[in-house]
Amino acid sequence: MLPIHEQFYTFQGEGIHAGRAAYFIRTFGCPVHCPWCDSAGTWHPDYIPEKIERWSSQDLAAEVAKTKAEFVVVTGGEPAIHDLAPLVDALHAHGQKVHLETSGAFPIRGDFDWITLSPKRWKLPLLDNINRADEFKIIVDQVGAIGEYAAVLGAQDKPVWLHPEWSKHSDAATLNSITNWVKTHGAPYRAGWQMHKHYAADQIDPRSAQPAPLGGDPAKGF
Rounded Cα distance between 64 and 68, Å, is 8
Instruction: Please state, in angstroms and as integers, the Cα–Cα distance from residue 98 to each residue in 25, 50, 131, 171, 179, following that order.
Output: 10, 29, 18, 34, 31
Nearest to 214 by CA among 72, 58, 45: 45
- Strand (E) positions, 56-134? 71-75, 97-102, 114-117
Quick one: which of 11, 3, 54 has its CA closest to 29? 3
Percent of the chain with pLDDT over 70: 98
Q: Name the pLDDT band for 215 (thresholds 50, 70, 90).
A: confident
Give pLDDT tens digits for 97-123: 999 999 999 999 999 999 999 999 999
d(CA 72, CA 70) in angstroms, rounded, equals: 7
pLDDT at 143: 87
Residue 216, pLDDT score: 75
pLDDT digits (tens, 9 = 90+) for 18-59: 999 999 999 999 999 999 999 999 999 999 999 999 999 999
| E-state strands within 95-168 | 97-102, 114-117, 135-140, 160-164
Percent of the chain with pLDDT over 90: 92
* pLDDT score of 218 more than 80: no
pLDDT at 217 over 80: no
Q: Which pLDDT belongs to residue 222? A: 45
Identify the CA nearest to 162 among candidates 113, 176, 99, 129.
Answer: 176
Coil, strand, or helix at residue 170?
A: coil
pLDDT recorded at residue 221: 54
Q: Do 116 and 140 contact (CB within 8 A), yes or no?
A: no
The residue that leads in pLDDT, 210 or 181, is: 181
| pLDDT given at position 4 | 98
Distance in angstroms (rounded) separating the CA atoms of residues 135 and 131? 10
CATH tag for 2-204 (out of 1.25.40.20, 1.10.260.40, 3.20.20.70, 3.20.20.10) = 3.20.20.70
Long-range Cβ contacts of 153-159 (<8 Å, 24+ apart): 153/119, 154/130, 156/188, 157/188, 158/133, 158/134, 158/188, 159/15, 159/16, 159/135, 159/188, 159/190
Residue 166's alpha-carbon distances to 75, 111, 142, 189, in angstroms, are: 18, 31, 12, 19
Of the pLDDT bands very low, low, confident and very high (cuts 50, 70, 90), residue 211 is: confident
pLDDT digits over 146-175, tens only? 999 999 999 999 999 999 999 999 999 999
What whole-number distance in Å separates Cα of residue 203 and Cα of residue 166? Answer: 17
Length of the chain: 222
